[in-house]
A and B are shown apart, each in its own frame.
With several copies, the nearest count.
Chain A
Amino acid sequence: MKFGILVNEGPFTHQASDSAYQFAAAAIEKGHQVARVFFYNDGVYNSNKLSEPQTDDRNLVDLWAKLGKEHDIDLVVCIAAALRRGIKEEVLKDGFRISGLGQLVEAGIENDRLVVFGD
């Protein structure tokens, strides 16, 4: 089955991004496809490559980028939400791309399920 995922919160502050990541990893493990993860609202902060958690903590920016690369997931950061929050190409982690809200609607149209993680 093909999944789309919407992440509405940034890393650390809310568990949303963690839950979404664990869900995505489990779906792939079960042989499903995660076609796109769309990062909206504060979710855009998940793509900030400057993020540097303590060494004994998880690094969600790296985890998403790695999962995306290994399993060909389209990691899309909403441009409107990102601009106001100061997420731009210069801080964007490799593997994410910035695009419009249409990509979220498409993720709802083209995938079998869209699962939303937020606050």
Chain B
Amino acid sequence: MEPWEEEGPEVVKRFMYVNRKAPYGTIYALECLEVVLIAAAFDQDVSVVFVDDGVYQLKKNQDTAAIGMKNFSNTYRALDDYDVEKIYVEQESLESRGLTAEDLIIPVEVLAGDNLREIMAQQDVVISS
């Protein structure tokens, strides 16, 4: 038996990355995005969720010049190039913040909490930051 045969069939797991924090106030948004871009290189099922203040990460027109921090919001546009296509935003989180899908820097799937709940319950690995 060859070594690779020992490994059996390739496992594909469902990975969900959950963002609940606003950008810039803390680094979690940026460092989660860095994980997702790496994760995209593995042949796994990747989804990214934005809920609560996490929805602020995707707000258009971020301009960080005056705070001296790096503006990483354009990097969300790279998710598509990396074939990360399951990007979910909770509708209630958007609405209660006075935002709509038009406010966001990338196209996303806006889901009611009840639907998001179902998708969350289908994951194999959930990474939050």
Contacts and interface: CB of A to CB of B under 8 A. Distances in A.
Chains A and B directly touch (beta carbon < 8 Å): yes
Interface string A7-26: 01000111100110110000
Q: Interface residues of A: mostly helix, strand, loop or mixed? A: mixed
Interface residues of B, number: 26
A54 B128 CA distance: 23
Contacts, number: 76
Contacts of B15: 105, 108
Contacts of A105: 15, 35, 38-39, 42, 44
A15 B11 CA distance: 33
B26 interface: yes
B9 to A, nearest CB: 13
| 4 pairs of A and B residues whose beta carbons are closest in the complex | A101-B38, A108-B125, A57-B70, A105-B39
Given A108-B13, A108-B127, 5 more contacts: A13-B26, A41-B28, A101-B34, A105-B39, A116-B127
Interface of B: 11, 13, 15, 24-28, 31, 34-35, 38-39, 41-42, 44, 67-70, 124-129
